Structure 1
């Protein structure tokens, strides 16, 4: 089975509950983490620590890519850009300090999260955080795709995108949605973990791309719902 989870935003409990509830077996199943592991939630450091450990334990089956929140974190630590602090960075710094009293281990995990690749590709899908530029080769994508607005990404023709990816749909997150849909080319799997909408409290989703079903964990209600990926 192929699974995808993205925009965890510090929800270590939700991530663990979903993986356990679904019964993901990382000795044979594939799991891709789509970036934005940090900020907003209570345990950003815990998520980074766990994902890094999973990748090291299952290097053939677990892959993580960078999100724009990790990108902001790298700007802060590399050049003092304070944009990150206004997007949950202060709480994330505290989380890392608490989880890693040893500065060397703390910096090791921060550097690891900031150096993750822009994309991952397997035999069926291309995985990115926010979008994809069809006018550039896959291995030549600009880091601006970490910030790509959903309106811009979904305005690109399906044929153009599939031509650029050699027929592979693009799995992504970044922009919170209420439900997960697949338009034949793109599937946005971000249900807005640790954010709120007018309609309902959002959640964290674990998507089974093999069977096109997903589970969403709603922390406020402490429950997990199973849903089918819609088609549009």
Structure 2
């Protein structure tokens, strides 16, 4: 029963399609865990969300999708007061907003009728409210699905999580880990296994753990496997495959 893991897709839907082509979900023994961060940075956040959701829908007993910090930040922004502009202001060139809204809906949210223009004469909170209202009207089911995503997935031998856990809590890690640590833990913990299971995570770019900006392969030590290959700069996703005996392999998937 091999288990595959993919993390930090960040709006790169074609790389995700190519990665999924390497995961044999037609075999009912195959398991796949998505580790979160489906949105932001790349050009097609909507495509990634829809593909992850569709894959989970088609293989409900085989596929688990977890939430990452970027996914939760987006949901927090939707729920926040309209004068909370942090998320939308950090969306450079509105790349994620443009993925989720067609040009006509976005223009109306910006207070005009020109789908070729990103300009707006509206004040920040009014513009923000318009964008959020349009998103929630257009993607109610998708947003509800995002809200349902768990933060951890546990097997007999591994804990899958977006960022990490409080390993020093030992057997009490499930209750001792603050919720934000599951999706935002930084820096990454490395070293021996402390909870009796190996941790599989994304979030921290593996080149930081390798100590080499040019090395984006999976990083593994005795207690951890980190797989974020910086797709937004490398154009490639790491696909991790774990065997029942704990041995693992990887391959890197790009646009080709």
Same fold (TM over 0.5): yes
1:207-226, aligned counterparts within 5 Å?
A: 207-210=240-243, 211-218=247-254, 222-223=255-256
1:84 paired residue among 84, 87, 94 = 87
What is the TM-score of this pair, normalised by structure 1? Answer: 0.79
TM superposition shift of 1:105: 5.3
Count of matched residue pairs = 207
1:158-177, aligned counterparts within 5 Å?
A: 158-159=192-193, 161-162=194-195, 167-177=196-206
In 2, the alpha carbon distance for the partners of 1:204 and 1:59 equals: 23
Q: Structure 1 unaligned runs (5+)?
A: 224-232
CA RMSD of aligned residues (A): 2.5
- 1:113/1:21 CA distance change after superposition, 3 Å: same
2:210 paired residue number: none
In 2, the alpha carbon distance for the partners of 1:95 and 1:26 equals: 33
Flag as ranges the 4+ runs of structure 1 deviating above 4 A: 99-105
- Which stretch has the larger CA shift, 138-147 or 72-81? 138-147
In 2, the alpha carbon distance for the partners of 1:25 and 1:214 equals: 20
- 1:37/1:26 CA distance change after superposition, 3 Å: farther
What is the TM-score of this pair, normalised by structure 2? Answer: 0.72
- Rg comparison, structure with higher value: 2
In 2, the alpha carbon distance for the partners of 1:139 and 1:60 equals: 26
- 1:102/1:34 CA distance change after superposition, 3 Å: closer
1:20 paired residue number: 21
Q: Structure 2 unaligned runs (5+)?
A: 106-133, 207-215
Paired residues of 1:97 and 1:106 also in contact (CA < 8 A) = no
1:88-103, aligned counterparts within 5 Å?
A: 88=91, 90-98=94-102
